[in-house]
Structure 1
Amino acid sequence: MKLVVLADNNTYIDQYYFAEPALSIYIENGDKRYLFDTGYSDVYLKNAERLGIELESLDAVIISHGHNDHTGGLAFYPKRQNKPLLIAHPEIMEPKKAEGLSISFPVSEAYLQDRFAFKLTREPLWLDEQLVFLGEIPRVNDFENKKPVGEHCLADGWHDDYVLDDSALVYKQKDGIYIITGCSHAGICNIAEYAKQVTGCSVIKCIIGGLHLFSGHSQQTLATVDYLKQNVEGTIYPCHCTNLAAKFALHKELTVQEVGVGLTLEW
């Protein structure tokens, strides 16, 4: 499997790609081609072109959750003759707002139907023999997902949003599992526990993605570090919605590597 970061908050020194506060990752597994999230704008398309990555024949676009820093790029996604799958939780298109600003899915359902074949699911969905979309993540621990992220609009009005549409991908290999997450609104430890349950594998070799941690000493960060220290055998690549203090707290106890546009991993 090959993974390339197409959009992230960070770029590497002397590597001239575009950055934005968002996330998009290109994935190859055998003869399958996937795009995990589309960032906030057309940056993922520009960076893919500069990296020599062809997005014409994707098998699927997978959306981690419905916030516009992960779905905004869909507004720039070209119409293809062969429609790829759009894989996501059924609630990704609910209207969402935070601090008075819209953070919703940026395009209409009709627009998407013109470009994609929908596969919306709360249940785990195996994309191929090794890669699985987790669907809705059970919230099982007592330290994650305790505060809403803005509000979402339901049939009876606006309510606190705990981002139940948040999901992740898991790649299963002989040596263990590799977790690819968007923002981890469900909590990275909840995600990891469900990944182990779905794949039947308890060895976590790698985590890459946003961890939604913004403190080096909060209860959630400290509990997360403790959990990951006990459960991850390999490397963690925290990016996007993970600030420096949280990265430093992780780095003190775990093997942590920098992420930037153009990062390429092969497992």
Structure 2
Amino acid sequence: MTRCAGARITVLDENFIDILLPSSPRVRRYNMDQHFSSRYGELLAENGLCFLVETFTEGGDRTGILFDAGLTAPVVLHNARHLGVDLSEVDAVVLSHGHPDHFGGITGVLEAIGHPTPVLAHPDAFDPRMIVKPHTTLPMINIGLTRAGIQGAGGHLVEARDPVPLGPGLLTSGEMKTSAEFEFEAPAGRLCVHADGRVEADEINDHQVLGIDVEGHGLVVIDPCGHRGVISSVEHMRALTGTETLYGVLGGFHTGHPGISANRIGSTAKALAAYEPKLVAPMHCSGFPLKKAVAELIPDAFEIVTAGTVLTVGEVPPDTRTWR
């Protein structure tokens, strides 16, 4: 697979903002200067994820995709406007899985893009799913994700279980398996109703990650929610791309939920450190214990990534977007 010359990742939606974090050569931040300026204004945060991922060839050709659509469209659109992101330049949208903190803004985002747009998703993302708790049942948590809704907003569905190449060095993982022993998770209380009417434990088979293979730097993996385990996701993408070097990994690693053991958190941090990456950014559902463990083990690689963060890897053209 052809690698890209560089990549730029802009975080349009994340769980929190922090205006006190400084910028660095690899990270541009929307900070206090913009937050308190009447010309710009504050960003918004919510329990969701949305990334604008841009890859560039040596000749300057660009591919721009949205990875996930946040929890709500108003937050994504507000932040895109303040960050100077023109959503009409998006080539495609990839939905990682059928959970509302990742697909919730899809129809509003597609309408804002304003042109027919491929939307890649695993077909199981549309199966009704629920969470059963001792005191209540949360029925059909993905009720807002429908094929008709996506198509009505201008999306052209591409339903795929296998990896899909999106541009030089850029591809989806396709369906994955958990391979690291400490990452196996019992789906207690999660149920899925399949198209044939069967009701089974929801293994979240639709969960996918994104890989970016950058020439001279290595592999960047965006794992939005860690349902297969972030180490298993990295191993899957290393095998898929044939690239051994892990430059970095970011996203939600699913280690912040109640009941996640200290063993899994510690094992995850140690396994990440063993790759000797340049960047590790636990976000969203990763939880403080894992952030702390990564920060202590590999402080030079650890990065706090919030809404408004712009990460660059490799050779990218100057960012002409102005905060507005």
Shift of 1:108: 2.2
Residue in structure 2 matching 1:2, options 1, 8, 27: 8
1:151-166 to 2 correspondence within 5 Å?
151-154=191-194, 155-166=196-207
Residue in structure 1 matching 2:158, options 109, 119, 126: 119
What does the per-residue CA deviation read over 1:60-112, in whole Å, with 9 as the maximum and x for residues that have no partner? 00111110000000132343663111112121111122242242151321121
What does the per-residue CA deviation read over 1:172-196, in whole Å, with 9 as the maximum and x for residues that have no partner? 0122100112101011011000110
Q: Secondary structure at the residue paired with 2:88?
A: coil
Shift of 1:57: 3.1
Which residue number corresponds to residue 240 of structure 1?
284
1:174-253 to 2 correspondence within 5 Å?
174=215, 175-214=217-256, 218-253=262-297
Q: Which amino acid aligns with 1:212?
A: H
Distance 1:248 1:165, change over 3 A: same
Measured in 2, the distance between the counterparts of 1:107 and 1:139 equals 25
Measured in 2, the distance between the counterparts of 1:77 and 1:25 equals 12
Please identify runs of 4+ aligned residues in structure 1 that moved more than 4 A: none
Measured in 2, the distance between the counterparts of 1:177 and 1:224 equals 18
Measured in 2, the distance between the counterparts of 1:116 and 1:104 equals 18
CA contact (8 A) 2:281 2:304 kept: yes
Measured in 1, the distance between the counterparts of 2:157 and 2:276 equals 33
Measured in 1, the distance between the counterparts of 2:121 and 2:271 equals 27
Shift of 1:145: 3.4
Q: Secondary structure at the residue paired with 2:126?
A: coil
Which residue number corresponds to residue 169 of structure 1?
210
Measured in 2, the distance between the counterparts of 1:35 and 1:44 equals 11
Q: Which amino acid aligns with 2:126?
A: M
Shift of 1:146: 1.8
Overall identity of the aligned pairs, in %: 27
Q: Secondary structure at the residue paired with 1:110?
A: helix
Gaps of 5+ in 1: none
Shift of 1:163: 0.9
Shift of 1:214: 2.0
What does the per-residue CA deviation read over 1:126-174, in whole Å, with 9 as the maximum and x for residues that have no partner? 1111101011112222221322162211233432212111111110012
Q: Per chain length, whose mean CA-contact separation is higher, i.e. which structure has more relative contact order (CA < 8 Å, sep 6+)?
A: 2
Is 2:59 aligned against 1:19?
no
Q: Secondary structure at the residue paired with 2:279?
A: strand
Distance 1:81 1:233, change over 3 A: closer
**Pair member with larger Rg:** 2
Which residue number corresponds to residue 73 of structure 1?
105
Distance 1:105 1:208, change over 3 A: farther
Residue in structure 2 matching 1:94, options 119, 124, 127: 127
Measured in 2, the distance between the counterparts of 1:106 and 1:217 equals 32
For the aligned residues, what is the CA RMSD? 1.8
Measured in 2, the distance between the counterparts of 1:222 and 1:245 equals 9
Q: Secondary structure at the residue paired with 1:106?
A: coil
Measured in 2, the distance between the counterparts of 1:91 and 1:139 equals 17
Query: Under a length normalisation based on structure 2, what TM-score does the superposition of the two structures give?
Result: 0.78
Shift of 1:217: 5.7
Q: Secondary structure at the residue paired with 1:206?
A: strand
Measured in 1, the distance between the counterparts of 2:110 and 2:209 equals 24
Residue in structure 2 matching 1:62, options 77, 81, 94: 94
CA contact (8 A) 2:265 2:289 kept: no
CA contact (8 A) 2:250 2:282 kept: yes
CA contact (8 A) 1:92 1:105 kept: no
Aligned residues: 267
CA contact (8 A) 1:72 1:105 kept: no
Query: Under a length normalisation based on structure 1, what TM-score does the superposition of the two structures give?
Result: 0.94
